[in-house]
């Protein structure tokens, strides 16, 4: 049978098209990570993530959708209805308690005076970047890092209390959350929790720290400043106090006032809203707390400090400069002044490791302060 010109043309246009696999609903989850593949859906149908988790047998209070969503769209025929299928990555929710601050605070017991004198113990914890995803973990691991460091600091306290500890400073020099503004928002895919979830976890970590350390001394100060990751937004230039870390500290302060019997010996201190750093007394030592992004290069901290001193800024009165930002422990002294940089508590920077090969183990600092001097320093 002779083929028509049209038949020949169609044969010439034929391609060895693969038989495509249709999108079938499926899910895999090993307890730490997994995914959901939806079936074919109408593109016009709204997607309810909570219902979607329930449809696949997950409890939305225990499992959450993380990262970006892979979306496939197609038409079965020209001018036909658009269809869609989604693939979501899933992970466990943070193990932080869902109790609200008010209920936690009201249950706290009255503080019993300790009566010791001599030194202040400092727990310095920076760069948690809650919400950050990386090769070695995300928020759950960051919270574990923080709580492990807190527990080790309390163990250090037990060995140091023989020197006399009249007060405790909890110093949080910024980048407490990952936020969503760093690098013009390019890290959103690598951010596990929303900003509201990040701040909720931070507030509860602050309160957990106060509850753990509050009974150990007759004075306790929670000192918090904002880092670059803590900035609330960058669409407009606002004052340095427009940040999530200090706002969380203010919320904790308001909650503590609900139970003065338990928390009357606790002070929460944040900078004036027009300042990104603050200079405060810690016992008989004057301390400036800054994040570190003010001087950008790790070797320029003393230069920044000397500039503040030359022009008569508050930092000029300080004996000690506490900061973070550079994600590794550093100690520098000059002329009776000490600059001390915290290691980070996040799970590391994949970008920095690829670029330099450098890594820094997570941790915080604990040390004694007296007469402007640091002693008995440990990385915990």
Q: Does domain 101-379 have CATH number 3.60.21.10?
A: yes
The answer to whether 77 touches 125, Cβ cutoff 8 Å, is no
pLDDT score, position 118 = 85
Q: State the pLDDT at residue 378.
A: 96
Show Cβ contacts of residue 213 under 8 Å, excluding neighbours closer than 6 positions: 123, 153, 154, 157, 168, 170, 220
Q: What's the CA gap between 180 and 198, in Å, rounded? A: 10
Which pLDDT belongs to residue 86? 80
Contact predicate 124/168, CB 8 Å: no
pLDDT confidence of residue 59: 87
**What is the full per-residue pLDDT of the chain (380 aa) written as tens digits?**
455 555 554 555 455 555 555 567 888 888 877 888 888 877 777 777 778 888 888 888 888 887 666 777 777 666 667 778 888 888 887 544 445 676 777 777 788 787 677 899 999 999 999 999 988 889 899 999 999 999 999 999 999 999 999 999 999 999 999 888 877 777 788 888 999 999 999 999 999 999 999 999 999 999 999 999 988 888 888 888 899 999 999 999 999 999 999 999 999 999 999 999 999 999 999 999 999 999 988 889 999 999 999 999 999 999 999 999 998 999 999 989 999 999 999 988 876 778 777 778 899 999 999 999 999 999 99
- Distance separating alpha carbons of residues 140 and 61, to the nearest angstrom: 15
Residue 96: what pLDDT? 44
Q: What's the pLDDT score for residue 11?
A: 53
Return the residue matching tokens 């810690």: 282
Q: Given phi > 0 = left and psi -120 to 50 = alpha, else beta, which region is 164?
A: left
Task: Look at residue 264 and give its three-state secondary structure.
Answer: coil
Q: Are 331 and 339 spatial neighbours (Cβ–Cβ below 8 Å)?
A: yes
In 231-360, at which residue ranges do the beta strands (DSSP E only) sit?
Answer: 266-269, 278-282, 285-289, 320-323, 330-334, 337-341
Cα 268-205-145 angle, rounded to 5 deg: 125
Structure confidence at residue 97 (pLDDT): 46
Q: How far apart are CA 259 and CA 246, in angstroms?
A: 21
Provide the residue ranges of all domains of the chain, joining segments of one domain with +: 21-92, 101-379
């Amino acid at each position: 049978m002779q083929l028509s010109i049209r038949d020949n043309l169609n044969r010439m246009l034929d391609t060895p098209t693969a038989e495509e696999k249709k999108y079938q609903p499926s899910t895999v989850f090993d307890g730490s990570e997994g995914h959901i593949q939806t079936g074919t859906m109408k593109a016009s149908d709204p997607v309810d993530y909570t219902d979607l988790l329930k449809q696949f047998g997950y409890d939305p209070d225990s499992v959450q959708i993380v990262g970006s969503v892979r979306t496939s769209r197609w038409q079965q025929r020209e001018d036909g209805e658009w269809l869609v299928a989604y693939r979501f990555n899933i992970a466990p929710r943070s193990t932080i308690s869902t109790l609200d601050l008010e209920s936690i605070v009201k249950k706290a017991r009255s503080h019993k005076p300790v009566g010791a004198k001599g030194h202040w113990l400092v727990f310095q914890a920076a760069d948690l970047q809650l919400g950050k995803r990386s090769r070695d973990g995300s928020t759950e691991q960051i919270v574990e890092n923080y709580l492990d460091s807190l527990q080790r600091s309390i163990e250090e306290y037990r060995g140091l209390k023989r020197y006399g500890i009249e007060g405790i400073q909890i110093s949080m020099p910024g980048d407490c959350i990952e936020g969503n503004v760093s690098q013009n928002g390019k890290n959103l895919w690598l951010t596990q929790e929303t900003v509201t979830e990040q701040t909720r976890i931070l507030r509860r970590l602050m309160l957990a720290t106060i509850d753990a350390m509050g009974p150990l001394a007759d004075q306790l100060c929670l000192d918090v400043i904002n880092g670059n990751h803590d900035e609330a937004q960058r669409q407009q230039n606002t004052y340095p106090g427009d940040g999530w870390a200090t706002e969380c500290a203010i919320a904790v302060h308001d909650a503590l006032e609900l139970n003065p019997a338990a928390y009357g010996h606790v002070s929460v201190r944040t900078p004036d809203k027009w300042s990104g750093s603050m200079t405060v007394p810690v016992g008989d030592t004057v301390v400036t707390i800054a994040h570190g992004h003010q001087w950008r290069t790790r070797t320029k901290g003393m230069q920044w400090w000397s500039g503040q001193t030359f022009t008569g800024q508050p930092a000029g009165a300080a004996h000690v400069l506490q900061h973070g930002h550079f994600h590794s422990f550093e100690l520098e002294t000059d002329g009776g002044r000490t600059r001390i940089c915290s290691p980070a508590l996040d799970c590391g920077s994949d970008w920095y490791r690829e670029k330099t090969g450098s890594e820094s183990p997570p941790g915080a600092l604990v040390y004694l302060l007296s007469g402007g001097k640091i002693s008995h320093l440990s990385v915990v």
